[in-house]
Structure 1
Amino acid sequence: MSATDRPFADRAAVERGTTAERTPTAKRDTYTPETLLAVAVRVFNERGYDGTSMEHLSKAAGISKSSIYHHVSGKEELLRRAVSRALDGLFAALEEPQAQHGRAIERVEHVTRRTVEVLMAELPYVTLLLRVRGNTQTERWALERRREFDQRVSDLLKAAAADGDLRADMDIRLATRLLFGMINSLVEWYRPHPDGVDREQLADTVVRLAFDGLRTG
């Protein structure tokens, strides 16, 4: 018996089944690498990268694992894209004119402010970057890039001290760690909200707290 010869109730069931089969396909068609990345970052931050499987990502995205593999080779590629987004924002701040020219103290203050702004703008991605532990090749690469960024900021602090703009009784390496410790702690409590902390105000406050105590005068 063909579908058209079946009773109405049976034909309706067939039609519902056909619709159900089409829905995931339509969803896959509208999914993009960017939206998939956003879902992956959320799950990585919630479960931890090691605790996340492709099945977890599939359920969170509402698409099949094969659909995910259509966009990326696996979860490590998603991790690489996510931490690259955070790192690109941080390193871009080092290349801005205000970070390249002028007295070292002014340059490092600019980089500090921009680091806070990048953290707030890319909060989920920076949060993930700060949580990598070096268990995979991508994580080790990310940690190395983070150390490179920290070293460049430390070099700016050393230059500012050599210029006489920072206190002579300060250990530069310790100051660098404390500076980034304060900035990185923002991921634990800062949440974007219309009635929340103003981004510019927060960045200015971090700079004042750090450098009012570090400057010579």
Structure 2
Amino acid sequence: MTETEIRRGRPGYDQRGILEVSVAAFNEHGYDATSIGMLAERLGLSKSAIYHHVSSKDELLELALGEALDSLEGVLTEDGATTGDAADRLAHVLRGAVRVLVDKLPYVTLLLRVRGNTEVERAALARRRAFDRAVASLVVEARDAGSLRADLDPGIVSRLLFGMINSIAEWYRPGGQEDADQLAADVLTVALDGLRVK
């Protein structure tokens, strides 16, 4: 590639396109090991062309983690998560979390790999913990209403439920045999049928 081609870059890369390529690189190599130079090479752009769209690699990470977290938090505000009995609301949130994982797989995968090494990562982890607390509250409500077993700790139940959902990121591949709805139905069958009072 000549210097002129690098400087002009490839047409069609906007911030969204740069973000998608960056998330793939972060997942493949790790955030710390991925440099702006590596991203520029993958994109066929100069570093300055990337900086035209974002101020830093940290901003790319913040945008990517925000994509996953905004979607997960959005599930908590949907009608199915805010109306009805607690067990149904919990089921709605679990279905929604599976849907988000499938729809935003690279972004959720990146979120699940965050360890809190930067301020951006620590802020994302705080938002993730708040989401987890909201789910644990739904588990408590459903248990107190007599819909779920009372002999299990709600915090552990919540972690186990999301451990199962989050593990999907390790093996799920788009275009496979099951779509998000069927996958969510399978998760609910395994998770809630074992928790519900018979």
**Which residue of the partner structure matches residue 177 of structure 1?**
159
Shift of the alpha carbon at 1:28?
A: 4.6
Structure 1: how far apart are the matches of 2:8 and 2:46?
Answer: 12
1:84-163 to structure 2, matched below 5 A, reads: 84-163=66-145
**Which residue of the partner structure matches residue 215 of structure 1?**
196
Extract structure 1 runs of 4+ deviating beyond 4 A.
none
Shift of the alpha carbon at 1:26?
A: 4.8
Shift of the alpha carbon at 1:90?
A: 0.4
Structure 2: how far apart are the matches of 1:196 and 1:189?
Answer: 13
Structure 2: how far apart are the matches of 1:26 and 1:172?
Answer: 55
Residue from 6, 15, 30 that aligns with 1:33: 15
Shift of the alpha carbon at 1:58?
A: 1.0
The answer to whether 1:188 aligns with 2:158 is no
Shift of the alpha carbon at 1:172?
A: 1.0
C-alpha root-mean-square deviation of aligned residues, in Å? 1.4
**C-alpha distance after superposition, 1:19-47 (max 9, x if no partner):** x5554455354210000000000000011
**Which residue of the partner structure matches residue 38 of structure 2?**
56
Aligned partners of 2:22 and 2:39 also within 8 Å: yes
Structure 1: how far apart are the matches of 2:39 and 2:128?
Answer: 26
Amino acid at match of 2:180: R
1:72-91 to structure 2, matched below 5 A, reads: 72-91=54-73
> Could you state the TM-score of these two structures normalised by the residue count of structure 1?
0.88
Residue from 199, 209, 216 that aligns with 2:180: 199
Structure 1: how far apart are the matches of 2:13 and 2:192?
Answer: 45
Shift of the alpha carbon at 1:169?
A: 1.1
SS in 2 for 1:69: helix
Amino acid at match of 2:90: V
Q: What stretches of structure 2 of length at least 5 have no aligned partner?
A: none
Structure 2: how far apart are the matches of 1:112 and 1:197?
Answer: 17
**Which residue of the partner structure matches residue 51 of structure 2?**
69
**C-alpha distance after superposition, 1:126-173 (max 9, x if no partner):** 000110110111000000000000000000000001101111111111
Shift of the alpha carbon at 1:80?
A: 0.3
**Which residue of the partner structure matches residue 42 of structure 1?**
24
Structure possessing the higher relative contact order (Cα contacts under 8 Å, 6 or more residues apart): 2
SS in 2 for 1:209: helix
Structure 2: how far apart are the matches of 1:201 and 1:50?
Answer: 36
SS in 2 for 1:66: helix
Shift of the alpha carbon at 1:199?
A: 1.9
Structure 2: how far apart are the matches of 1:22 and 1:157?
Answer: 58
Shift of the alpha carbon at 1:54?
A: 1.1
**C-alpha distance after superposition, 1:188-207 (max 9, x if no partner):** 000101x4322211110001
